[in-house]
Amino acid sequence: MVVRTHPCVRCGDDVDPGHVYSAVDVLDAEGELHVILCRECGSELREFLAGEG
């Protein structure tokens, strides 16, 4: 199993193996969307979806 660094699709920061991150799977108007967000962007998305941000 190869584990590699992924960029956060929102801010571009590296999400290294072992870091806490958000994996987002949604179905949007253009089809399925599978992305990885860094911890901070994931927290901001959660607040936005909850109507807090």
Exposure string over 6-22, b if 16+ CB within 10 A, otherwise e: bebebeeeebeeeeebb
- Contacts of 19-23 spanning 24+ positions with Cβ under 8 A: 22/46
pTM assigned to the model:
0.76
pLDDT tens readout for residues 1-53? 677 898 999 999 999 888 888 888 888 888 888 889 999 999 999 999 999 86
The pair of structure tokens assigned to 39 is 């911890």
3-class secondary-structure state, position 13: coil
Q: Give the pLDDT confidence score for residue 53 in this predicted structure.
A: 64
What per-residue confidence (pLDDT) applies to 14? 93
How far is Cα 28 from Cα 13, in angstroms, rounded to an integer? 24
Which helix or strand (DSSP H or E) is residue 26 part of?
A: strand 21-28
